[in-house]
Amino acid sequence: MVDRIPQERDLYGMRMNRIFLAVLLIFGLLMPVQGHVPLINGGVSQGPVIIPDALKSWAIYGAIHEMGEVDLYQFNLRAGDRLILNLLVPPNSHFIPGMVVMGPGIPSQGIVPTSVKVPTGFSAMVIEGKMGNVPSYEPFTPTSNVDVADVDTTVTATGSYTVAVYGDGTGSYGLAVGYLEEFSPTEWLFVPLSVISIRFWEGQSLLLIFGPAALVLAAGLAFFIRRKHSGGPIGYRSWVGIIGGLLCIGSGVNTLFQMGIALQGIPVPLEVVVTLIFALIALLIGIASLRISSNKEPISIRGRAKLVVLSFVGFISWSGFLAGPILLLISALLPER
């Protein structure tokens, strides 16, 4: 009976490794799914917001704070470039913004609101916002939004272009720009921090944003503290790894919680598979990290190597709010006591 216990643990570890590798493979296949680089920006207090590359896919989250306010966004395009803009609002929003696209290659259309100033020599296209579209689901964040206005055209002149977002009232809006899904390593790495700002943009409270992960962390720490008194892990290296693993599990639970919020009142789209994969990876990273870090025996070199790999995967899969993977890496490098 005693001999079977190590064998059963080895078999369990092999199964976990296979499941983890399978999920990573699926994650790699899902990487081409459309995603926007998030920008938490907006306003004209310091002049127009400069978009460095309007062909690249950006998601800008802003708000009109007072009547008559206009937010400006500026970028350069060449003749023949495709200009794609999508204006959206959170679900259940009563604010319906519109936008004015100005530039040398823009056909004149509509009546420009008095609050929007068109530069001399520019033509302007007015796209009034209209409510009534079914909310669309974004799997990476995850969140849902309602499209109110869009532009998809090819410009005929090289030059500087400006988009003005306006509205008759006040409220939050999002502006998606471009169509090329390109993330720099830094942009990809810091998406979890941007997502927190997006939650505030949606109007969520701190309890909704961090509540599920906080519960996981509190319950996990209570469990391992109790286990410590009965002969569990006692070294600070173990505790650093345990906290990192719990943060990863917490982020996975948070993702599932936010997915539930985003799917309220809308048909479940196929893209939820992407969200589920991200959540599952975070959960598996956390579980695997806890198995390594909570072991009563001193950690082996192989165990440290596994923590480094788990940390790396955590970074690229947005697990653990960045802090989780950092703690796992620190745990892998710390001495035993």
- pLDDT tens-digit readout, 51-83: 989 999 888 989 998 888 999 999 999 999 999
As a whole number of angstroms, the distance between CA 147 and CA 131 comes to 8
Mean pLDDT score of the chain: 85
> Mean pLDDT throughout 199-216?
93
Please state which of the ranges 5-19, 36-50, 162-176, 241-255 shows the lowest mean pLDDT: 5-19
Please state which of the ranges 109-113, 189-193, 330-334 shows the lowest mean pLDDT: 189-193
How would residue 38 be classed by pLDDT, with cut points 50, 70 and 90? low
Q: Is the pLDDT of residue 281 over 70?
A: yes
> Mean pLDDT throughout 3-12?
49
What pLDDT does residue 31 have? 44
What pLDDT does residue 332 have? 95
What pLDDT does residue 6 have? 47
User: Please, are residues 166 and 98 in contact by the beta-carbon 8 Å criterion?
Assistant: yes
How would residue 298 be classed by pLDDT, with cut points 50, 70 and 90? confident
What pLDDT does residue 231 have? 61
- Where is pLDDT greater, at 245 or 132? 245
Element (H, E) at 63: strand 58-64
Q: Is the pLDDT of residue 147 over 70?
A: yes
Domains and CATH numbers, the chain: 4-32+205-333 (no CATH), 37-184 (2.60.120.380)
Instruction: Find all residues with CB under 8 Å of 287, minimum gap 6, and list them.
Output: 16, 245, 249
Residue 96 is given by DSSP the state -
Q: Is the pLDDT of residue 232 over 70?
A: no
Percent of the chain with pLDDT over 90: 59
What pLDDT does residue 194 have? 87
What pLDDT does residue 40 have? 57
How would residue 234 be classed by pLDDT, with cut points 50, 70 and 90? low
148: closest CA among 172, 124, 125?
172
As a whole number of angstroms, the distance between CA 175 and CA 162 comes to 13
Helix (H, G, I), strand (E, B) or coil at 270: coil
DSSP structure string for 187-219: HHHTHHHHHHHHHHHHT--HHHHHHHHHHHHHH
Q: Is the pLDDT of residue 14 over 80?
A: no
Most distant CA pair in the chain: distance in Å?
Answer: 87
What pLDDT does residue 30 have? 46
Dihedral Cα 308, 312, 315, 317, nearest 10 deg: -120
What pLDDT does residue 182 have? 76
User: Please, are residues 176 and 86 in contact by the beta-carbon 8 Å criterion?
Assistant: yes
> Mean pLDDT throughout 240-250?
97
Tell me the residue length of the chain.
337
What pLDDT does residue 5 have? 47
Instruction: Find all residues with CB under 8 Å of 86, minimum gap 6, and list them.
Output: 147, 149, 150, 151, 175, 176
Q: Specify which residues 72 forms β-bridges with.
A: 164
Q: Given its phi and psi angles, is residue 97 left (phi above 0), alpha (psi -120 to 50 degrees) or beta?
A: beta
**C-alpha distances in angstroms, 138 versus 34, 61, 166, 243?**
9, 14, 24, 29
As a whole number of angstroms, the distance between CA 205 and CA 199 comes to 8
What pLDDT does residue 83 have? 96
What pLDDT does residue 37 have? 58
User: Please, are residues 62 and 41 in contact by the beta-carbon 8 Å criterion?
Assistant: yes
How would residue 96 be classed by pLDDT, with cut points 50, 70 and 90? very high
How would residue 229 be classed by pLDDT, with cut points 50, 70 and 90? low
User: Please, are residues 172 and 165 in contact by the beta-carbon 8 Å criterion?
Assistant: no
Helix (H, G, I), strand (E, B) or coil at 83: strand
- Where is pLDDT greater, at 143 or 8? 143
As a whole number of angstroms, the distance between CA 167 and CA 63 comes to 10
**Model pTM score:** 0.83
